[in-house]
Structure 1
Amino acid sequence: MFAEEQKVDESVKISNIFINKLSISSQKDNLFDISFVLKNGDGAHANSKTSIELVDSNQKIVDRYVSPKIFTIEPNSEATNNFSYSAPFGLSGDYSLRLLVVNDSGIPLAANSLEVNFNRDSSFIELIPDTCFLVSSSNNENKVAIDKTLTLEKSENIILSCQIKNNLKENIELNPVYETHKDNLYGEAIDQKYQKEEIIILADEEKSISLTIPTVLSSGDYVTQVSLKQGNKIYNRMLVKYSIGERELVKIKNISLDKTSYKKGEEMNLSVLFNYLSNKDTSLKMNVSVLDKKGDVCLPSFTEVAPSTSTFLSFKKELELDCNDPLVTIKITNESDELLAQKDMVFESIKKIDKTLIIDIVVLALIVILVVAGIIIFFVKPKNKKEELKNNQNINNETNN
């Protein structure tokens, strides 16, 4: 039996990131254009994503959306960001739109919120969340609430059942869309093959629907987001959490650096946040290696003891050569050198200018110079010719006199 996941020590400050000037640039029905300024203090954060949580008046999260864009947050940086969010149709009333910047382990790095309002008429599709439950394909008697984690054996699938009501005066066709991620909604996307399904609901009909969700074959924790769509309209997004095989004893939650580019001889400040899920008090070993974007070794691999009673370790190491866009690899093993967890993270600088862009700028500058020179020659030369003719005429007149 595994212990509860360790809580992150509140005294550990993971980031100095702030979301400022959060605003809605425009709203058309359920489509929002959102603008905000992301400001960071010390520390670089890779594998970051932007996420939306829509919260009702009872503080219940009714929708989650994660932007697919992955980015690095530079230290001491400030940047304006814009993106679009499509909320599910069928919502009505006031909600809190919570904007988060998270890492790929789902740890919030920054958050801000504002109030939004939805107007709904009677023509909508209503999925009743309290009626939803999960079962495994091999045991349909053991029902699990949709907000709980379903434990599966390999090769088992998940069946999601819900009650749905069509308030429209016409028949509709819904298409489920599935998106699976490792560990959480912000983690690595898993490429899964899903069979296209069609759900027909008659006008004014209320019925139970069941969806078979294919699962991943490898052991681990997974999340599948299930969206019910009608064309471009999204009526619901639901999260299905499941675990296959033995749970991972160690999870690396965050890796951070102080910069994304270093000179030879500079110190690299590296921090690692992890969780240990066993009751057994044992010493773990953490191996750290750092390469640059060319694959050269910036920092020789080193190993440190990582006590299971701690969840946060930091290191200061001097680099042996210049290191741009560092690739940091963390491996955690037990006393028997059995690999328990590994995480790779690239801290790619967003400040560098592409070489092709520099070439384009130089070419454009040369074209502008040539055009300006041509204009000058065009206007100046005739004037000089005219003066030359006038001078020649004056000389001739003087000669004749």
Structure 2
Amino acid sequence: MKLSSLVLGSCSLVVLAATAQAQSLTIATVNNGDMIRMQALSPQFTEETGIALDWVILEENILRQRVTTDIATQGGQYDIMTIGAYETPIWAAQGWLAPLDGLGGDYDIDDLLPAVRQALTVDGQLYAAPFYAESAMIMYRTDLFEQAGLDMPEAPTWDFIADAARQITDRDAEIYGICLRGRAGWGENMAFLTALANSYGARWFDMDWEPQFDSPEWNEALNLYVDLMTEAGPPGASSNGFNENLALFQQGRCGMWMDATVAASFVTNPDESEVADSVGYALFPTHNNFGNHGNWLWVWSLGIPASSQNADAAQQFLAWATSKDYLELVASQEGWANVPPGTRTSLYENPAYIEAAPFAGMTLDAMNSANTSNSSVQDVPYSGGQFVAIPEFQGIGTAVGQIFSAALAGQTSVDQALQQAQQITRMEMDRSGYYR
């Protein structure tokens, strides 16, 4: 071989190596604690692979707006998107997501909890890698309950919760009996309110896709929510989402908080929570022992847009961030109680995790009891626990969430809010062709 060919070949290798070293991924994710921790640990991935990471950390509603717009228009801004159990099957069916067929032989896909894997699979193919999964449960201040002479049942009713919230409220001390999501959004206040309505036996649609906001079940559920938050909730509750309520609970200002099970590690972390040593857990409430706890199943996952030019490198990151090795990494840095929960069977068989996380059993029970195929005791034409798994729900849920947030803020009555929700939902479903 000529010297010139050798030189050219060497130069080509140098260029390829430089290109590989210069490769970078843009990741859009939500500003939740586990994701922020992932960003903090990600330099290890870059050190191992040479792949640089550009992080876009967004509030939940803004994240959803931006990634939905980008993927629907094939904008190509992001190589990795944080998406959930709602978007994954819908977007995969549209051809908007890249299939995850390059996670590697040691990823152990069979270790994923069956319900979690199923939520992210279309036609037998995984389209998003689960980072953490959750259901809903009650977190409460055991010290406040003891002072009030109250015992939290393992499976309380809403009547008990409402009475307890009023008893432990002390506005002079800025302690509020209950904190619930109020910020408008299909994945914010409507996640909680849909679960609440399910526990009352309500449903979004009947079998003919007619909205059901004019039902007595929705009326009773929304009245409970508004009355309870007015009498025993924090001021400005209509602006509070997951992170705001988490901060209130950690500061000792919430007696009870009903939200995602993933929050348990944050409220019991003594470095972050002022009440870490006095937190108890119970199942999401039911209505008069109705039997439906309204548990949801949500999976915050990492997906790759089909428009990404860096799909192979993106799969490398997904395999790293959602692996058993990543759980070990978090445990070594933050302790087993703080690893991302709810995705792998092996985690709930790990004695170190069970010992460190007193909430592990309740979390797994709540997830296993979530019925996403039939979330109401009434027949429904849709799947989903705290959402309706149809493409139109993102827009409809956000619109209804704004109406219900206004009712919480006292800008409209419950009856007016339900009437508006009925009209808007019916109009959008008609426009989408559900009644033809």
TM-score, with length taken from structure 1: 0.22
The one of the two structures with greater contact order (alpha-carbon pairs below 8 A, sep at least 6) is 2
**Radius of gyration: which is bigger?**
1
Counting helix residues as a fraction of each chain, which structure ranks higher?
2
Scaled by the length of structure 2, the TM-score of the pair is 0.21
